[in-house]
Amino acid sequence: MTKIRNALRGVAVFGLSTAIVQGSAAAMEGSQKRPGLYEFIELTTQGHPSLMASEAALTAARARARGQARPIYNPELEIGYENAEASTKEIGISQAFDWSGKRRARSGVGRAEVEAAEAIYELARKTLLTDIFQALSDYHTMARIFTVAEEREKLNEKFLSLAKRQNDAGEMSRAEFLTARLALAEARVAKNTAAGQLSVVEERLIAKVGQNRQVWPRLDGVPINSAVISGTINYEQLPELRLAQAKTEISRALIKVAKTDRMPDPTVGVRVGEEGRSTLVGLSLSMPIPVRNSYRAEVRAAGAELIAAQQDYHSVNRQIRARYDASLNRYFSASDAWHVWRSQGAEPLNEQRTLLGKLVEARDISAVNYLVQLNQTFATETASIELKGRLWNAWFDWQNAGGTISEWLETIQ
């Protein structure tokens, strides 16, 4: 088992194979509801503000890139008139020439900015999907916990009614009766606490989705790791690293821009006109002289920004690799705990509660013993619900870290 776990920790996931889809269908209850989950995500992400903002930024980056790829200088039209002893009229046109390669340098900046905007969009999408799925998981976890708390309150109310009858008949001590009342009070506090926590997670889910719903899609069953595709994750394709790499390319392109700004470009002009009865034809050539500002400081600044961007890339690289390994370990840990619970601790709790009710009615166990065992069943059930919720959240963290959450979503269509 250890060797298998170590081998699995060394693999990466680009998606889930057909075996996972089939295995999930066999392991998950209510598989017919999964298309509803897919449709819910599709409807939620369409027109979502965070994605719309990223799309607008991408459109703007592409428009800027097209503009930066256009010629820098436009021709200039000159018209002159002088009224002296002889009237002089002339018209001319001049054009600056990009001999230093400014257009090419700016075009490189535009391409890198488009790459950055595309990475930002992909990052926004996978972050949004992860947030929605985890909010949905938290909501269903708390909804189940609230249901368990309601069932606990009902059973404690039923037992208090029994305890009152037995106490009135002299078959139960006053201390046991008071214990039953305290147990009901505790159950009601637990229910109110669960209701408050359910309201909080539902608020978060509504905020992520953008609308309230009477019925939310379910996350049935548990994610399966037995059919993971072996391979090597391509970290360079993750949007976090693509964005960091694009920022590096932007800084590198800005160095070229700063260097070309140091090189003056000539302007050539031609004009024709009349002076009295004479025809005038003239040529002109002008060249800026970089005396007062040589733009060396801009080149140094661009070089320093490139170093900063490169170091940021290395930092992000470390972070995403550490995050992937940690999220994978958390998922395996939660998965192992869940399977241990299913194989050893998942007993028929409802049957146990029914049996406890019969035993206390027959006075085969004391009220205190009944309440202790009853509360233990509810504590165990609540713990199992929380464990399942942690398993789903760990799964979504892992999918997000590996950039495969969209691929996983496609498998549940």
Dig out the tokens for 258 from the structure. 């700063």
- pTM of this prediction? 0.81
Task: Give the ranges where 30-101 is alpha helix by DSSP (H).
Answer: 34-45, 49-68
Residue 5 has pLDDT above 90, yes or no: no
User: How much is the mean pLDDT over the chain?
Assistant: 84
204 band by pLDDT with thresholds 50, 70 and 90: very high
Q: What does the H/E/C string look like for 143-203?
A: HHHHHHHHHHHHHHHHHHHHHHHHHHCCCCCHHHHHHHHHHHHHHHHHHHHHHHHHHHHHH
Q: How far apart are CA 371 and CA 154, in angstroms?
A: 13
Residue 30 has pLDDT above 70, yes or no: no
Q: What does the H/E/C string look like for 265-310?
A: CCEEEEEEEEECCEEEEEEEEECCCCCCCCCHHHHHHHHHHHHHHH
Residue 21 has pLDDT above 60, yes or no: no
Q: Among residues 17, 13, 16, which one has the least CA distance to residue 324? A: 13
Q: How far apart are CA 179 and CA 372, in angstroms?
A: 11
* Tens-place pLDDT, residues 318-375: 999 999 999 999 999 999 999 888 877 666 777 777 888 788 777 778 888 888 888 8
* C-alpha 259: how far from chain center: 38
Q: How far apart are CA 383 and CA 374, in angstroms?
A: 14
Q: How far apart are CA 228 and CA 391, in angstroms?
A: 16
Furthest-apart CA atoms within the chain: distance in Å: 135
Residue 232 has pLDDT above 70, yes or no: no
Q: Domains in the chain, please, with CATH?
A: 2-290+309-402 (1.20.1600.10)
413 band by pLDDT with thresholds 50, 70 and 90: low
Place of tokens 């693999």: 11
**How confident is the model at residue 3, as a pLDDT?**
39
Q: Among residues 198, 45, 194, 193, which one has the least CA distance to residue 135? A: 198
Dig out the tokens for 322 from the structure. 């550490």
